[in-house]
């Protein structure tokens, strides 16, 4: 997922550490994840994992940049 995000925002991140997440069961699984990408820089990402029998890769479906450590991980 890191490479998918870096491609979308045209930027390389020095770190990529999940610090908080939520999940939602759908026809697969949605994950909303707060990712630390630099010392004081965070990104919120939404990732979709399809059902196992579909054999599809995990996909970045949306993201929000310029987030802080204390920004709420809210649905977007």
The domain limits of the chain are 2-67
Angle value at C-alpha 5, between 48 and 14, nearest 5 degrees: 130
What pLDDT does 60 receive? 98
Work out the number of other CB atoms within 10 angstroms of the CB of residue 31: 17
DSSP state of 53: G
Q: Please state whether the predicted TM-score (pTM) of the whole model is above 0.85.
A: yes
* Residue 35: band (very low, low, confident or very high) from pLDDT cuts 50, 70, 90: very high
Three-class SS state of 4 = helix
Mean pLDDT of 35-57: 95
What pLDDT does 37 receive? 97
Q: Tokens representing 20?
A: 């908080």
What pLDDT does 76 receive? 86
Integer Cα distance of 63 and 43 in angstroms: 7
């Amino acid at each position: 997922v890191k490479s998918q995000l870096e491609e979308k925002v045209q930027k390389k991140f020095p770190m990529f550490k999940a610090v908080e997440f939520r999940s939602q069961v759908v026809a697969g699984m949605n994950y909303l994840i707060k990712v630390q990408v630099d010392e004081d820089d965070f990104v919120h990402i939404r990732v979709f994992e399809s059902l196992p029998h579909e054999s599809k890769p995990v996909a970045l479906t949306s993201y929000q940049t310029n987030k802080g450590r204390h920004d709420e991980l809210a649905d977007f």
